[in-house]
Amino acid sequence: MVDDVDKLFNDDPYWSEFKKIYFDSKLKDAVAYAKEYYYQNQDKMQFPVLWADKWDCLSLAIAYYEDSISFKQELQNDASKIGEKWFKSNRTQPKEEIESNNFKKTMLCVDCASTDTRRSDYFAFVVGSLADNDFKYVRKGEILKIDARTEFDRYVKHVLDLLKEFDDITHIYIEKNTFNGVDAGRIEQEIRKDPELSHRNITIINEMQRKNKNEKISTIVDSVNNGRIIFCKERVMPEALEQLMDFSGQDTSLHDDFPDCLAEFSNRIEEVEVIHRLKFLDKNLLF
């Protein structure tokens, strides 16, 4: 194998074009188009391969693009370098372009600030959707300084405001570690009392954070780097994206609130089930 696979698969003109086609959200079968491009330029895209009877350049490239961390650990025996930033790039689109998609599912994820650690002092909010092109869109992303002990009402109100701003949110995920479910109960009460929200079928998921953060955040590295998770240019705070791009692992990063919240959205949006309400037509319209 080559010494620097990151440089090969991201900077080489042919492989970078392959990557661009492979992750093109506007193509119905981007993988097929990318493979066709490879076969047309195969002689210019070769590189030394160990175990050539088992691996070829195309399958290695796809394995890298789909999960570069596992690729390096399993195929190159290259453990993550301490202090190295995990995210190399991010893809943004204007609000108008993002909102033109057909969204299948939309949820709000909340990562609450801890009350006693130096590093976890932000509340993170992600409003994200899964579109029918199977790309994930962060329609709003925030990190806010909210004192978990003295500004509880402000936090609850902000959640309600986000629900009103995005009327297609059907699920809220709130990690349980900070308030032990008190906030979820209060938000549920406020939804019932609010004339604008009470008619909506909103499910609140309130669970303890038990997974290893590095493991969880590692699942979104390639989706972010390759543009499968797309961020709204106007609605995602620059500070939130900066926190994401600065992440170098749980033990070496000053903050991990936004990447953790983003990973929660990316993983959970696949699992949530949306129950659509039945719409009845006026029978007089049929005749």
pLDDT at 116 exceeding the cut of 50:
yes
Q: How far is CA 223 from CA 35, 46, 91, 160, in A?
A: 19, 25, 10, 29
Residue that the structure tokens 């994930």 belong to: 136
**Could you give the domains of the chain?**
5-75 (no CATH), 91-268 (3.30.420.240)
- DSSP, res 118: S
Q: Identify whether the C-beta of residue 69 lies closer than 8 Å to the C-beta of residue 90.
A: no
Secondary-structure breakdown of the chain: helix, strand, coil percentages, each rounded to the nearest 5: 40, 15, 45
pLDDT recorded at residue 70? 73
pLDDT at 285 exceeding the cut of 90:
no
pLDDT recorded at residue 281? 54
Q: Report residue 119's pLDDT band, with 50, 70 and 90 as the boundaries.
A: very low
pLDDT at 81 exceeding the cut of 70:
no
175-195 average pLDDT score: 93
56 contacts: CB under 8 Å, gap ≥ 6: 49
Please tell me the distance from the alpha carbon of residue 124 to that of residue 122, in angstroms, as a whole number: 6
155-173 average pLDDT score: 97
Separation of first and last alpha carbons in the chain: 70
pTM, two decimal places? 0.74
- DSSP, res 45: S
- Alpha-carbon Rg for the chain, nearest whole angstrom, is 22
- DSSP, res 286: G
132 contacts: CB under 8 Å, gap ≥ 6: 101, 102, 103, 104
Lowest-pLDDT choice from 90-99, 169-178, 244-253, 268-277: 268-277
- The rounded mean pLDDT for the chain is 87
Residue type, 202: I
Please tell me the distance from the alpha carbon of residue 239 to that of residue 141, in angstroms, as a whole number: 10
Q: How far is CA 101 from CA 26, 88, 97, 210, in A?
A: 10, 26, 7, 34
